[in-house]
A and B are shown apart, each in its own frame.
Chain A
């Protein structure tokens, strides 16, 4: 069993998930991640889309033990064991939730520098859903 976001609805967010493009409010300048119909800060609805750098830092994180993640990630957890999830504070200001991948959980700290990578998220109805995860950014302190 899994919760459900249909393919057409998922597809409508590919600009965000694949290319890290997100809307900035024309009225108050707030970056909305993920995109909203009404600005999270001022409630207005006119945006300019921009491409993000994909750079950010760990705001907080957790290492979820096998079986502790949502059922959509069971297959991944069978292979990887634990799964690292973080709230990432983007360089542009907004926060997102994402998995950290290809990293040693022991080395993750609040404040660790990160960069976004393109990865498989999960499988549903035989279709692979892709999006961003983050890796440790070795080039920054």
Chain B
């Protein structure tokens, strides 16, 4: 059973102190419904998966049911999916599996996070709970330090230069300038980013994401019924997912994420395509080094050569393989649970050729990929999509 995406919607990503969790979800859901070209009666949605870390703990239990009732879906079977920053991507995978199984005709995959309500101290707690707590966090480091150590090892083994790593942020900010839904819509220059205050050496504050609110929704259905809802269904060609040891010291290789490699291999196999066929990708750049590793984990280049893609400008909007045309996590924003679905929203628009701002539209892209990672690679999920015929 093939699966099609028939509608996507997302809030702007940013700081919205006056919008509640429910208000954000309602906004994203309404946009997804409006995006279904020929209309969809919400009552047709039979099952829902909602990815969120539940940052802040305001509503930990039964969050999926609460958000469903908020948008008029009381009664629908709903599941809360939590796989840290990959929660959204895993929510989508579940919806895909449900349609493939034949059990559902129409399903919803969503993601949401409300991070800016919290005092700074409480936010810092929530940001560090998705790595290994007992040995890694309580030895003195959470994600900035962990990604910094991955960056250091990449530089040591492969001669990757810091300016290539930080070049990821420069590229992604340049893209976000043209995305009205992005959080940080300003360009940054390499010189300044290199001189910015250190966060965890060699990463500066410009190598990291901010704190973000946002929600995103994708509606999927059986491909053989998709034309009832839209003339431009985007097909799900492949889905892959994997896990790895949470603590990075338990891993043999520290220059890539094995979970992402396994997820990518599965997704490519299902889709019957390879890295060279991908024409646009949204990848998980929670820290700049993560995008360099993603190039290698996804096979966009040989191992160790991820930095060259930035050095040579190959992943810019006008390059041969544009990556993060939305601005990525770095500049579009990273509302943890919403991120994976936000990536899918972007790729669906790219493949339908209806990105609102023509400057961001990757011309003629037919096959696109999303890559969503949880924590420092404890979880990873990859999807491959095809444009409407």
A110 lies within 8 A of chain B by Cβ = yes
Contacts of B198 in A (CB 8 A): 63, 65
Please, how many angstroms separate the alpha-carbon atoms of A68 and B124 in the complex? 9
Which listed residue, A13, A64, A129, touches B141 by the CB 8 Å rule?
A: A64
B117 → chain A closest CB, angstroms:
14
Q: Convert A22-54 into 0s and 1s, putting 1 for each residue whose CB lies closer than 8 angstroms to a CB of B.
A: 000000000000100000100000000000000
Contacts of A95 in B (CB 8 A): 249-250
Inter-subunit contact B139/A3 (CB<8 Å): no
Contacts of B145 in A (CB 8 A): 62, 64, 68-69, 85
Inter-subunit contact A110/B141 (CB<8 Å): no
Which listed residue, A3, A59, A70, A131, touches B153 by the CB 8 Å rule?
A: A59
B63 → chain A closest CB, angstroms:
21
Which listed residue, B121, B152, B203, B248, touches A110 by the CB 8 Å rule?
A: B152
Contacts of A135 in B (CB 8 A): none
B8 → chain A closest CB, angstroms:
35
Please, how many angstroms separate the alpha-carbon atoms of A122 and B138 in the complex? 8
Contacts of A64 in B (CB 8 A): 140-141, 144-145, 148, 199-201
Contacts of B1 in A (CB 8 A): none
Please, how many angstroms separate the alpha-carbon atoms of A121 and B138 in the complex? 8
Q: Which of B115-132 contact A (CB under 8 A)?
A: 121-122, 124-125, 128-129
B288 lies within 8 A of chain A by Cβ = no
Name which residue of chain B comes closest to A67, CB basis: B124
Q: How many A-B residue pairs have CB under 8 A?
A: 113
Contacts of B152 in A (CB 8 A): 60-62, 110
A83 lies within 8 A of chain B by Cβ = yes
Name which residue of chain A comes closest to B147, CB basis: A62
Contacts of B150 in A (CB 8 A): 60
Inter-subunit contact B149/A85 (CB<8 Å): yes
Q: Which of A75-115 contact B (CB under 8 A)?
A: 83, 85-87, 94-99, 105, 110
Q: Which of B213-267 contact A (CB under 8 A)?
A: 245, 247-250, 254
Contacts of B200 in A (CB 8 A): 62-65, 68
Inter-subunit contact A3/B197 (CB<8 Å): no
Q: Convert B195-209 into 0s and 1s, putting 1 for each residue whose CB lies closer than 8 angstroms to a CB of A.
A: 001111111000000
Inter-subunit contact B138/A72 (CB<8 Å): yes
Please, how many angstroms separate the alpha-carbon atoms of A18 and B107 in the complex? 52
A129 → chain B closest CB, angstroms:
8
Which listed residue, A1, A5, A69, A98, touches B142 by the CB 8 Å rule?
A: A69
Inter-subunit contact B201/A85 (CB<8 Å): no
Which listed residue, B128, B149, B201, B247, touches A70 by the CB 8 Å rule?
A: B128
Name which residue of chain B comes closest to A62, CB basis: B148
Which listed residue, B121, B153, B203, touches A71 by the CB 8 Å rule?
A: B121
Inter-subunit contact A62/B140 (CB<8 Å): no
B134 lies within 8 A of chain A by Cβ = yes
Contacts of A60 in B (CB 8 A): 149-150, 152-153, 156, 254
User: Chain A interface (Cβ within 8 Å of chain B)?
Assistant: 1-3, 5, 9, 13, 34, 40, 59-65, 68-73, 83, 85-87, 94-99, 105, 110, 121-122, 129, 131
Pairs of residues from A and B, 9 with the lowest C-beta to C-beta distance, nearest first: A62-B148, A60-B153, A63-B201, A95-B249, A1-B125, A60-B149, A85-B141, A60-B152, A62-B200
What would 5 A/B residue contacts be, using CB atoms closer than 8 Å? A60-B153, A63-B198, A87-B248, A94-B249, A121-B139
Q: Please name 14 further chain A to chain B contacts, defined as beta carbons within 8 Å, in addition to the given A3-B133, A85-B139, sorted by A numbering.
A: A34-B134, A60-B254, A62-B201, A62-B202, A64-B201, A70-B140, A72-B137, A83-B140, A85-B141, A86-B149, A87-B248, A96-B249, A97-B136, A97-B249
